[in-house]
Amino acid sequence: MTDKKAERLQHVAELLNAVGRDTETKILSTLEESNPNLASQIRDRMFTFDDLTLIDSRQMQLLLKELNSEVLVLSLKTASDAVKELVFSSVSTKAAEGMKDDLESLGPRRREDVEAAQMKIVQTARKLMEEGKIVILGSDTV
């Protein structure tokens, strides 16, 4: 793959990371129908909130230090159990209990607000990755 094509794919992935989950899903589903290979290449370059499980607990601690606690709790509203468990296991027992209590008392929130909070966390994680402070676990890590 040429560098320009890889760069363009990365730009598309970044744009899709910046839109709401519903829009992202619609775009990728439509693209999947017409060009499954391209859709797969774009998905491979995307980093989503659920991908936080691809960092270890120590790196999660570095990420959590950068986050506003209100944004973090709001982001956990619709988070997978795996993401919640990673977050809770990366902080002290007391802090985890406090977050769980805050999450329980949060009440209904607009989906857009939760997704915006999740996007802030993803953007912070991507910034830390670009700075080399955290690494995504995967096939290219040793």
Q: Could you tell me if 88 and 112 lie in one domain?
A: yes
84-134 pLDDT, tens digit per residue, is 999 999 999 999 999 999 999 999 999 999 989 998 998 899 889 878 899
Q: What pLDDT band is residue 65 in, cutting at 50, 70 and 90? A: very high
Q: Could you tell me if 93 and 117 lie in one domain?
A: yes
**How many Å apart are CA 91 and CA 99, to the nearest integer?**
10
Structure-block tokens of residue 82: 């795996």
If one counts the domains in the chain, the total is: 2
Q: Could you tell me if 32 and 57 lie in one domain?
A: no
Under 8 Å between Cβ of 16 and 28: yes
Q: Could you tell me if 27 and 64 lie in one domain?
A: no
Residue 139 has pLDDT above 50, yes or no: no
Instruction: Look at residue 138 and tell me if it is in a domain.
Output: no
**How many Å apart are CA 4 and CA 94, to the nearest integer?**
49
Place of tokens 């809770």: 88
Q: Could you tell me if 31 and 54 lie in one domain?
A: no
Q: Could you tell me if 87 and 20 lie in one domain?
A: no
25-44 pLDDT, tens digit per residue, is 899 999 999 999 998 888 87
Domain that residue 17 falls in:
3-45
Q: What is the CA radius of gyration of the chain?
A: 16
Q: Could you tell me if 78 and 32 lie in one domain?
A: no
- Would you state the pLDDT for residue 6? 80
CATH of the domain at 17: 1.20.5
- Would you state the pLDDT for residue 140? 56
